[in-house]
Amino acid sequence: MTPGMIRFRDKRFLAVAIVIAALVVFVLPAFVAFRYTAPQQRGQFLTHPWRGWSFAYAALAVPGGSELKTSGMALRKADWVFKGTVVDAREVQLLYVRRKQPYTFDHPIDGRTVTTTVVPSYRFIWQVQGEVGTVSNRTDTIVALFDYRTGRMLYDIRDDLTSEELAPAPPDSSPTPGP
């Protein structure tokens, strides 16, 4: 082997290593954003990986005094808010929204589609999925949105329910068979 050949291989190896490192640095924030955001948003980070950098920046710039820093905190708040109601909060997901712009979303409630717009104080919103016990179609839907920074409720599904849907179902009065 000649010394020139070794240098050529070293240069090629170095070039490949630099390209791989650049790709990892470019794409890594997109995978982090993919991991931590709601399923309906994940595709945008894979198709537009540079958006992962804005997510990473927003995550690093989160105000230190934020009220709802974890999904567990958000779910506990949702459980507290809906305690004793027909709404059952089941899951919390993080939404990453545009800066200083309203967030509009559609969701089904008992066969009808409701469109709602909220204005968050920061780029993160906790989306609470759950079920309303009095509607005929008992599938999970968006039952609440909480502001990440302030903890304020931005959306409450009870505002979109009819008075019949808000009333708890009457208890079953049929006799139960004995043992």
Q: What spatial distance separates the first Cα and last Cα of the chain, rounded to whole Å?
A: 90
Q: Taking the model in full, what pTM does it have?
A: 0.76
Q: Answer yes or no: are the C-beta atoms of 131 and 59 closer than 8 Å.
A: no
The neighbour count for residue 141, using CB atoms within 10 Å, is: 19
Distances (CA, A) of 19 to 24, 52, 63, 79: 9, 19, 35, 48
Q: How do the pLDDT tens digits run along the chain, 179 residues long?
A: 555 545 556 788 888 888 888 777 777 778 777 777 887 777 777 777 778 888 888 888 887 888 998 999 999 999 999 999 999 999 999 999 988 899 999 988 888 899 999 999 989 999 999 998 887 667 788 999 999 999 999 999 999 888 777 776 666 555 666 56
Torsions phi, psi of 6, nearest 5? -65, -40
Tokens of 61: 């710039």
How far is it, in rounded angstroms, from Cα 30 to Cα 128?
A: 23
Tokens 């009457």 locate to 170
